Amino acid sequence: MASVSATKTVQITQAFSCTCNYWSRPGIEQFRTIRHAAARPNPKGSQEPTQDSSPTGGEGVTSKPGPEAVASDEPQTGLGRSSLKRIALHGSAWTILGFGTAQACRLAGNLVLTRLLAPEAFGIMVLVEMVIAGIQMFSDFGLEAGVVRNRRNNDPQFLNTAWTLQVMRGAGLFLITCIAAIPIAEIYQAPILMQLVPFAGLSALIAGFTSTSVFLLRRDVNLKPLVIWEISSQVVSLLCMIALAWYLRSVWALAIGGVIRVAIAVTTSQRLISGRKSRFAWDRTAALELVHWQMDFLGYGHNIPDSVG
């Protein structure tokens, strides 16, 4: 009875963690992007004077759009709103489909893994994932949102600088997990945590190399390739985890499977957008813009001088 109860607790905890992680950043940022795009002014509907470049040589003559031009802009505005609504519905459908498929795969995997591993393995792994998730959440400064909202988010130099900052953050997270492993193992009186926590921290280090193509696809609310990418990575890693659980019969099967999943996702993310490859680069202006955004994200932006033009 205790074993069944522990298994259900683990499944509920993992489902809740997956739900929070899925909806906390991608979904919110997608609809923020849509709202931000809808709020942009329509340059065709502007009442500012325009330059007349007629062939008669009347350069420098300014004119304002007449009633016909203003009236002709109204159907275009309505079409834009209809297009945004269609994009939002399409993105929502793929988000729901991806979430449901991911939960179904997770449930099926747990049903198999609970027959191969002891409940204690799931309890230890939940503790490890809680530590890793906590460190990642406290170090999440909104880099993805900063890239999505920046006016230079199509500049390769800017994107490569953001990718470099992401790699640096991943390396920092890995070092923090290595340092935190010792006190955590002492607090919970579980020596195995001294090896499991740093090993699980490798997933944060590897995840830092995820391509910025993920940011661009979420910016454009093009969620179909992202959902396929996430589900395929989850399915392959789940099969590897089941094979490891059958062979090792220990908590290490779960830890190794988690790292394999991140490694597969990072490798395949480089092919999400054809021709888009992330490289190490450093643009001081881009870095300052991203850091300024991150401080605004945390509420400390007013303490940083605006040194970026």
Distance CA 301, CA 141 (A): 12
pLDDT tens per residue across span 70-123: 333 333 434 467 787 888 888 889 999 999 999 999 999 999 999 999 999 999
Q: Over 60: is that where the pLDDT of 201 sits?
A: yes
Q: What is the pTM of this model?
A: 0.68
What does 199-232 look like in DSSP terms, one character per residue?
HHHHHHHHHTT--THHHHHHHTT--HHHHHHHHH
Residue 61, helix vs strand vs coil: coil
Distance CA 273, CA 1 (A): 49
> Which has more pLDDT, 267 or 152?
267
- For residue 62, what are the β-bridge partners? 51
pLDDT of residue 47: 41
Q: Over 90: is that where the pLDDT of 266 sits?
A: yes
pLDDT tens per residue across span 135-180: 888 777 778 888 888 888 888 899 999 999 999 999 999 999 999 9
Q: In whole angstroms, what separates CA 91 from the centre of its chain?
A: 15
Q: Over 50: is that where the pLDDT of 190 sits?
A: yes
Q: Over 90: is that where the pLDDT of 255 sits?
A: yes
Q: Over 60: is that where the pLDDT of 183 sits?
A: yes
Q: Give the mean model confidence (pLDDT) for residues 24-31.
A: 45
Helices (H) and strands (E) in the chain, counts: 11, 2
Q: Over 50: is that where the pLDDT of 305 sits?
A: no
> Which has more pLDDT, 48 or 203?
203
Structural Rg of the chain based on CA atoms: 24
> Which has more pLDDT, 8 or 243?
243
What percentage of the chain reaches a pLDDT higher than 70?
69
Distance CA 265, CA 197 (A): 21
pLDDT of residue 50: 40
Measured CA distances, 219 to 119, 189, 295 (Å)? 41, 45, 21
Report the Cα–Cα distance between both ends of the chain, in Å, rounded. 64
Measured CA distances, 114 to 141, 241, 251 (Å)? 36, 12, 12
Contact 237, 261 (CB under 8 A): yes
Q: Give the mean model confidence (pLDDT) for residues 284-298.
A: 78
Q: Give the mean model confidence (pLDDT) for residues 297-307.
A: 51
What percentage of the chain reaches a pLDDT higher than 90?
44
Among residues 306, 284, 281, 282, which one has the least CA distance to residue 295?
A: 306
Burial of 296 (0-12, 13-18, 19+ CB in 10 A): middle
At 297, the pLDDT band (50, 70, 90 cuts) reads: low
